[in-house]
Chains A and B, each alone.
Chain A
């Protein structure tokens, strides 16, 4: 690790933590419907949405109504994306004359974007019309993110309220999150990104003569440049932990992520809202220390694992060293394992992105994770498998982490023989049962799905790399789908009926199989009374509790997935270092 590498990593985390606090406090004000400057401008629009939809934003919903509103909204959103893909050839704004998408791929993509996963079985610039990207994918980028945040806010209300039936109004939470948080931030970011070189145009692709004209008939003498309304979509895909790229290679594409500054901003916004929501939580429950404790746990895990990936990627590939390739870092090159990485990002910025995008359930990439060293690439996969709670998705990361908090409190309660409580709420059998479902569902689909795929030909034939690495590709795919992450070991040819269906189902359960129990917990907590804090209460803002929480997350993640990881990345690591 060079001095500059350390400076870039430090700068990244300092900027993140500095911005998270004010944004988090602001978001609390949005969700508590306090007066805001932006309300003066967009307030009439908000009121218009409610009036025209026949919604009363003051009307409290019980957890079942809240869940029903959410599920209907996501269902119709998914259907709209599906329909746009099935009809795009006949619709306007399709200058490249893209054909209609196949049924299985359209299903997969519709689920993928409605669930905030943004797994991409397709290649953007060769599959989707501008209309589909805008009306289908961009819209879901906004509302699937706002949906996740709404569920989190509903859960926080569960802790805030006593003897209450309602946990808020879904339509109000959805609308406020989109109008006052996601939309203004995306607009500003999109323009800054265009300033750095991200394209934003409705013109068709451009064909340009190559500088080096090759005379043979088989070679091309021109280059086609794919463009499109990219910046508007890239801004929200980073902010909303969506991650679905406008182009096939996502933020490795120079038109999607042109400069180191663009890269820094995109990386920052990748986990800014998940980090800020910790402060939103602390503010809303009236004890900012609770937010800090969770944010500290998340940051500690991410920073530690980041250094593992940087170390292995900087170490390079021993097989290339044997061929006499210069992989050491110097002032003139970043060195290391550069297969699948861009020169302008080098090792450090590729590694920060790879770990941040998998810690958060974003899933956008600026390098190809499939080409990482075995252990350098195992870290992103394991971060997904930890349950997408180290920052995690917008909303979904923190509500997932709060589930682990309940488990940690429960474990501590067992040790000291006291009924566990958190923020004055007794944690009882119902909450722990729901928490167990939340933890078991992803594990079931990741391990079950991987097992199924390696037993059938349609699963095995899709791998691109032989041996243990091929197994890692499949394991990563199911982890990514269950965690609603969306990144991939992209060599896997996942655009097939088998993977489109299996991964589509996995994404659905990975999203709603967790949201519904979380809302049930929110409803149950809201109905409870608040018990007063005594000397016997376990404090949940101390360094000791932060360690207990990290221990819980890591232990569950390790116990569940180490055997599978041993068959993939670990075996490959041993092969790579002994074959020579």
Chain B
């Protein structure tokens, strides 16, 4: 039985070199050559002045911006250095309280708007970094953003439509709106 010790150690060494060094280096080299932007985090803006990552949401709380999903990361929300979900169960009173507070914040920011709130706008995402909201959640916020920016709801709505992504290939995933890109467009950083 002990005659297998030597091959065990040597095999581990060779597999470590192959799958732990050569393989990740080969993938990194190919990825940086073929897909340099994606491999480095899909950053928006320029290298000198990055505006954020297209794939990672940011926190928005002012009325003139579209708000993203609630985020459970700590110490601040949308902490891209420490992803986390809330892990609150469906019967946890803390979840119910949190959802209630989020509904109140939305209502307070736009008191005349009384429609039912789309669920994704008041529930924490899995990653705490979800860059998207549903088209329903974007539509819900149009009146607030339009008022705060003194724009017509129609022109805000047109922007929302422009930043609404359909299902990939028409089939996969869910339709969604990229909150950061939409807000950058409102600020006229993106065309």
The reply to whether B89 and A187 form a contact with Cβ atoms under 8 Å apart is no
A146 to chain B, nearest CB (A): 9
Q: Which of A51-59, A159-167, A527-535, A542-550 contacts B (4 or more CB under 8 A)?
A: A51-59
Q: Smallest CB-CB separation from B81: which chain A residue?
A: A224
- Collect the chain B residues with CB atoms within 8 Å of residue A94's CB: none
- B52 sits at the interface (CB 8 A): yes
Question: Which of B41, B86, B103, B184 touches A323 (beta carbons < 8 Å)?
Answer: B103
Q: Which of A253-261, A399-407, A477-485 contacts B (4 or more CB under 8 A)?
A: A253-261
The reply to whether B19 and A208 form a contact with Cβ atoms under 8 Å apart is no
- Collect the chain A residues with CB atoms within 8 Å of residue B69's CB: 343
The reply to whether B4 and A254 form a contact with Cβ atoms under 8 Å apart is no
Please count how many residues in chain B sit with their CB below 8 Å of the partner chain's CB atoms: 106
The reply to whether A225 and B88 form a contact with Cβ atoms under 8 Å apart is no
Q: Which of A16-24, A134-142, A412-420, A445-453 contacts B (4 or more CB under 8 A)?
A: A134-142
The reply to whether A227 and B40 form a contact with Cβ atoms under 8 Å apart is yes
27 contacts between A and B (CB under 8 A): A54-B7, A55-B11, A126-B81, A142-B19, A196-B38, A210-B52, A210-B59, A214-B61, A223-B80, A225-B53, A227-B41, A232-B27, A253-B83, A261-B173, A263-B173, A320-B96, A331-B175, A332-B118, A342-B125, A343-B125, A343-B133, A344-B176, A370-B88, A371-B85, A464-B88, A465-B87, A465-B88
The reply to whether A572 and B119 form a contact with Cβ atoms under 8 Å apart is no
| Complex alpha-carbon distance, A498 and B136, angstroms | 45
Residues in A lying within 8 Å of B, measured CB to CB: 4, 7-8, 11, 45, 49, 52-55, 64-65, 68-69, 72-73, 75-77, 80, 123, 125-126, 134-136, 138-139, 141-143, 171, 174-175, 178, 183, 186-187, 190-191, 194-203, 205-206, 208, 210-212, 214, 219-220, 223-227, 229, 231-233, 235-236, 247-249, 252-255, 258-261, 263-264, 316-317, 319-320, 323-327, 330-346, 349-350, 365-368, 370-374, 464-469, 472, 489-491, 572, 575-576, 579
| Complex alpha-carbon distance, A144 and B55, angstroms | 32
Q: Smallest CB-CB separation from A80: which chain B residue?
A: B12
- Beyond A211-B51, A249-B127, A326-B119, 17 additional contacts (C-beta under 8 Å) are A7-B171, A54-B7, A55-B11, A142-B15, A190-B27, A197-B54, A208-B53, A224-B81, A261-B173, A319-B91, A319-B95, A340-B123, A350-B126, A368-B85, A468-B91, A469-B90, A491-B88
| Complex alpha-carbon distance, A64 and B3, angstroms | 13
- Collect the chain B residues with CB atoms within 8 Å of residue A236's CB: 19
The reply to whether A326 and B117 form a contact with Cβ atoms under 8 Å apart is yes
Per the 8 Å Cβ criterion, residues 148-163 of B in contact with A are none
Q: Smallest CB-CB separation from B61: which chain A residue?
A: A212
- Collect the chain B residues with CB atoms within 8 Å of residue A77's CB: 12
- Collect the chain A residues with CB atoms within 8 Å of residue B127's CB: 249, 252-254, 342
The reply to whether B168 and A72 form a contact with Cβ atoms under 8 Å apart is no
The reply to whether B173 and A344 form a contact with Cβ atoms under 8 Å apart is yes
The reply to whether B23 and A200 form a contact with Cβ atoms under 8 Å apart is no
The reply to whether B52 and A211 form a contact with Cβ atoms under 8 Å apart is yes
